[in-house]
Amino acid sequence: MDNFTKEEIKNFVIGLVVIVMAMIAVAIYRWQSSVWADAQKTDYALYATFNRTDGLEIGNKVRMAGIDIGYVEDSVLDSNFRATLTLKIKSGIAIPDDSSAAIVSSGILGGKYIEIEPGGSEEFLTEGAEFVYTQDAMVLEELVDRIISMGKAKRKQATVAKESSQETEKKDE
Which are the contacts of 130, defined by CB distance < 8 A and separation ≥ 6?
A: 46, 47, 48, 49
pLDDT tens string 62-96 = 999 989 999 999 999 999 999 999 999 998 899 99
Query: Hey, where are the domains in the chain?
Result: 1-42, 43-142
* Torsions phi, psi for 86 (to 5 deg): -100, 120
For residue 90, what is the enclosing H or E element? Answer: none
Rounded to whole angstroms, how far apart are CA atoms 47 and 101?
10
| Calpha distance 84→45 (Å, rounded) | 12
Nearest to 103 by CA among 85, 80, 128: 85
Give the per-residue pLDDT at 36: 64
Q: Say what percent of the chain tops pLDDT 90.
A: 49
In the chain, alpha helices (H): 6-42, 140-172
Short-list 65, 151, 169, 41, CA closest to 114 = 65
- The model's confidence at residue 110, banded by pLDDT at 50, 70 and 90, is confident
Q: Sorting pLDDT into bands at 50, 70 and 90, what band is 147?
A: confident
Asked whether the CA dihedral 40, 45, 48, 49 is positive or negative, the reply is positive
Across the range 142-165, mean pLDDT stands at 82
Rounded average pLDDT over 151-162: 84
CB atoms within 10 A of CB 16: 10
In whole angstroms, give the CA distance from residue 20 to residue 138: 52
Rounded Cα distance between 102 and 80, Å, is: 19
